[in-house]
Structure 1
Amino acid sequence: MLQIAAEFGKLNPDIRVNVQFMIGNSVEENIKPRIASGNLPDLVSVNPNAYAAELADQGILADVGGTSAWKNMLDPLKGDWTSRQSKKFGISGGVATTLIYYNQDMFAKAGITQLPTNFQEFLVVCDKLKRAGFTPVMWNGGFPNMLGNGPFSFGFANNVVAREPDWKRKISDGTLDLNTPQVADIFAKILLIADRGYVQEGFMATDYDQGIRLFKEGKVAMAFHGSWAAGLFLHGNPFEVGVFIPPWNAPGKRVVPVIGSETGFAVCETPNKVAATRFLEFIAGKGFSILQRKRQNIPPFKQVDETMVSNPKIADYTNRVSRFSVTASPYYSVLPSNSIERLHQLMQDVLFKKITPRQAAKRLDESVKNEAKMHYK
C-alpha cells in the first residue's frame, strides 16, 4: 500500500496520501473509535457487511456507484457492496475464499496419497502426519480473525448454510437459531483439532505473520488460510505446495465452500472526498497490479491489466468452488460487527477451555439476535 500511495503521488502531486495501517483483529475495531471521535479517514478499509452498509445509509460512507471502479467490479460482487437504501458503499479488494494450503513433501513422507473429502478423513490425515513426526496444521489462536475466516466460516457453511437456504435474511431479522448442536459443533471442531495435538506448540500466541512463517519454514504441514495470501504461501518455499477444499462436511454430505468479496475500500464523507475518490480509482486501476504482484489473488474486476498475475492454482480453485450449487460467505460478511468481535473472544475462550462449545453457541446466538433487535428491525 505504501508503494501504491507513492505511485499515486507521482501522478497526482496535488494530493498527499498519509497511509495508516490497521491494528487489532478486524477492520470494524479500527473504524469504530474513529467514528466515535469524529476523526474519520478519507478512505478506509471496510468489509462488505451490514455494519458498513449501515454506515453508508447514515451518510458516513460515500456512494461510489458513479466511479469507474464500481462499473468495472464483477456484477456478482456488487450486491455485497449495496446497502438497504441502495447506496454503493465500497469496492472489493478481491474475490475471497479460504482453503487449505499443504506441504506436498510432508504428505508424501507421511504416506498420504489421497486428499481428505470429509472431516473424518481430515482427522485421519492429521493423525498420519502426527505419527510421521509432523505438526499437522497451523492454528492462529493469537489472531482469531483467521480462525473466523477458516474453521468457523467453513463450519458455518457446512453446519448452518447447508441446512438453511434463507440464512442471510434470518440473521438480519434475528430469526436464525444459532443456539443449536450444529453451531456448537463448529466450536467443537476447532477445539478438537487442538485437543488432539494436531496444532503447533504455543498456538494461542500465534499471530497472522507468525502463522505464515511456520508454514513457509516447514514447521507445519497445513495452513487453513485465505486466497489473499496465495503469493506468500505458494512461492519461495523449498517444497511444493498444493491446495484443497477444507473438508468440514460430514461423510456422505457434499462440502459447502466459502467464497465472496474480500475486504475492500470505501470513501468517507469528509472534506477530502473528491481526492479520496481519485485515490480509490487508482487503487482499483493502475495500483491494483502493484497489490496483485504480491498477493496473486483473483481480481474483482471485469477488465484487468493483461500483465496482472493471478496464481493458476488459486484461479483453478476459485473457478471450481464458484460452480458449487451451494456456497457460503466469509464470516465477516455474515455476522453483525459486534458479533464478529464477540466471536473472536468466544473462539479463544473455547480453546482456553473457559467455556464449552455449547455455551459458545448460546452466547453467539444471543449476540446475533441482540444486534438484529437493536439495528435491523
Structure 2
Amino acid sequence: MCGTPDAQAAFPELIRERDVQGIKFAWLLSGLIGLLVLAGCHERNATQGSEPPPAGTTITALIWAPDWPEEMLEIASEFGKRNPDVHVNVQFMIGNSVEENIKPRVAAGTLPDLVSINPNAYAAELADQGVLADVSQTAAWKTMLAPLKGDWTSRRGKGFGVSGGVATTMIYYNREMFAKAGIKALPTNFAEFMQVCAQLKRAGLVPIMWNGGFPNMLGNGPFASGFANNVVAHEPDWKAKMADGTLNLNTPAVAEIFARLALLPERGYVQPAFMTTGYDEGIRLFKEGKVAMAFQGSWAAGLMMHGNRFAVGVFIPPWNAKGETVVPVLGSETGFAVCETPNQAAAMRFLEFIAARGFPILQRKRHNISPFQQGAGTVVSDPEIVDYTNAVSRFPVTASPYYSSLPSNTIELLHKLMQDVLLRKITPRQAAQRLDESVKTEAKMHYK
C-alpha cells in the first residue's frame, strides 16, 4: 500500500521503501486439552454486580490460536493459579475459519462458555439473539481502543466481544533478496509490484509465497487487499450496501481480484506446490529464505520479524492501480466473547484475565498491536510494525479484514472460490458472480 501525503510526512521511511484483517497450524489437538486447574482472585471485575461463581466451576474455552496454542495454555495456567475455584477446559478450533467451528455448536446448542469470535455481522446477530453475552461493562471493553468498539457492537447496541489485537495485513520482504535482485525501491502500485516479482524471478528467486492450502490467508492477503482497492476505494457506502443487498460485486473490478490471485502462479512467481502450502509451512518458507515475500498479518510479527538469518522489512500491499491512492486493510483481530451459559460469571473473569495479565503472555510470541489503551506488564511490539500500523491508520480510506467484511456463509464460499480459481475450475468472472449471489442471498436472509 502506498501512502498519502500525510502518511508520507508522518512515516517517510515506510513510504519511501514501499510501505508495508488464526496458531501453530500443526494445530495441536483440536479436542479437549485437558482440564487445567485454574485458580482464583479477580484480576479485573467481570460484569458489574455479577456474583462470584460457585466453587468447583468448570468452564470451556474454544479458541482460535493457530500460531499461539502454547501461549493460550499458559494463560489458562496462570489464570488457574489466581482462581482456584474455576477450572478451564481449553479446546482449539481447527479448519479454515472461526465460523465453521462455531456454527455446528450453535445449531446443536453446545457452545462453550468462552469462544474466539470475529467482529462481523454473524457474531453481532448471535449477540442480538441472546447467544453471546454483553461484555460492555467489563474493564476489558472499557479499555479497548475506541475506534475498535464499533466493530464489536451489535445493531441493538450490545458489546459482544473484545478484540485480540489491532489487525492489519502487509507484505513482509527479505531485504537481502531484494538487494540481490537489484531492487532499489518498493512498489507503489500493482504494475510496479509485478515488475518487482519479475526482477526477483530473473535473479533466480521465488518472489512470493501463496497459501493455497490455507485459504484463510489468501482471504487475509490478496483478496482483502483486492477488495480494499477495487471495491472499498470506489464505494464509500459498501458496508451498508452489502448489508441491504444492493452492493454489486458481479463486476469486472471484482473479477480482477480473482484474476490477480491466479496471475502470480501463472507467471511462476510463487513457490512450487503452492496449492498444498498451509499456514505453518508458508511462514517456514519465508523464514528459511526460500521466498522473497509473504502476505501476513500484524498478528504474526513475532514469527516473521525474528529468528531469521536476514533482515525483514514490511510494506503495504500495492494492489492499487497506477495513479490511485492505495487502500490499506485495518481493523480488529479475531477476539473473545462470552456465551450465555450458566457459567457466564466465571467466563467473564477469564475474559478479563486474557485482556489483562494474559495479554503480555501471547504478546511475547506474537508481537501484534495491543487493542487496549493500557496493558498489564510489558507489552512487546516491534517498532516497525507499530510505525506501519500508525501510518496506515492515518490513511483517508481503509478497509476491514475480509473476515469482518463478508457474511459468514460467504466467507466459507470464498475459500472454495479462491481455490477453484487457482485450480482453474472456474474463471475469475464466475467467481465474482458467485460471490455476488452469496452476498445478496445472505442480505435477504439475515441483514434486512
TM-score range, shorter chain: over 0.9
Match of 2:158 in 1: 87
Letter in 1 for 2:393: S
8 A Cα contact 2:124 2:160, kept in partner: yes
CA distance in structure 2 between the aligned counterparts of 1:122 and 1:151, rounded to whole angstroms:
12
Matched residue, 2:16:
none
1:210 aligned residue (254, 260, 281): 281
Task: Tell me how far apart the structure 1 counterparts of residues 181 and 377 of structure 2 sit (CA, whole Å).
Answer: 41
Which contiguous aligned blocks of 4+ residues in structure 1 show a shift greater than 2 angstroms?
A: none
Q: What aligned pairs does 1:18-57 form with structure 2 within 5 A after superposition?
A: 18-57=89-128
Match of 2:148 in 1: 77
The answer to whether the Cα contact below 8 Å between 2:357 and 2:377 also exists between their aligned partners in 1 is no
Partner of 2:344: 273
Matched, 1:147 2:218: yes
Are the equivalent residues in 1 in contact too, given 2:209–2:274 (CA < 8 A)? yes
Q: Which residue of 2 aligns with 1:2?
A: 73
Q: Distance in 2 between matches of 1:307 and 1:352?
A: 46
Distance 2:285 2:374 in 1: 36
Number of aligned residue pairs: 377
Q: Could you tell me which residue of structure 2 aligns to residue 226 of structure 1?
A: 297
Shift of residue 38, structure 1, vs aligned partner: 1.4
Deviations 1:90-145 (A, max 9, x none): 00000000000000000000000100000000000001111111110000000000
Q: Deviations over 1:15-73 (max 9, x none)?
A: 11111111010000000111112111100000000000000000000000110000000
Q: Distance in 2 between matches of 1:254 and 1:342?
A: 30
Checking the alignment, whether the CA contact within 8 Å between 2:330 and 2:401 is kept in structure 1 is yes
* CA deviation vs aligned residue, 1:128-174 (integer Å, no higher than 9, x gap): 11111111000000000000001000000000001000000000000
Shift of 1:305: 3.3
> Which of 308, 311, 317 lines up with 2:379 in the alignment?
308
Counterpart residue number, 1:330: 401
The one of 345, 350, 357 equivalent to 2:421 is 350
Q: Distance in 1 between matches of 2:202 and 2:91?
A: 45
Aligned-partner Cα distance in 2 for 1:28–1:173: 21
Aligned residue identity for 1:310? S
Q: State the AA in 1 paired with 2:430.
A: Q
1:162 aligns with 2:233: yes
Q: Whose helix fraction is larger, Structure 1's or Structure 2's?
A: 1
1:137 aligns to 2:208 (yes or no): yes
Give the TM-score, by structure 1 length. 0.99
Secondary structure at the counterpart of residue 96 of structure 1: strand
**What is the root-mean-square deviation of aligned Cα atoms in Å?**
0.6
Percent of paired sites with the same residue: 77
Runs of at least 5 residues in structure 2 that lack an aligned partner in the other structure = 1-71
* Aligned-partner SS, 1:117: coil
Partner of 1:198, secondary structure, is coil
Give secondary structure in 1 for the equivalent of 2:101: helix
Partner of 2:190: 119
CA distance in 2, matches of 1:305, 1:103: 33
Cα distance in 2 for partners of 1:376, 1:300 equals 28
Contact 2:360 2:377 in 1 (8 A): no
Give the deviation of 1:194 after TM superposition.
1.0
TM-superposed CA distance for 1:329, in Å, is 0.4
**Equivalent residue in structure 2 for 1:11, among 82, 87, 92:** 82
Between the aligned partners of 1:33 and 1:166, the Cα distance in structure 2 is 32
Name the amino acid aligned to 1:307.
T
- Which amino acid in 2 is paired with 1:203? F
- Alpha-carbon distance in structure 2 between the residues aligned to 1:80 and 1:308: 23
Distance 1:307 1:289 in 2: 6
Q: Which of 386, 390, 393 is equivalent to 1:319?
A: 390
Q: List alignment gaps of at least 5 residues for structure 1.
A: none
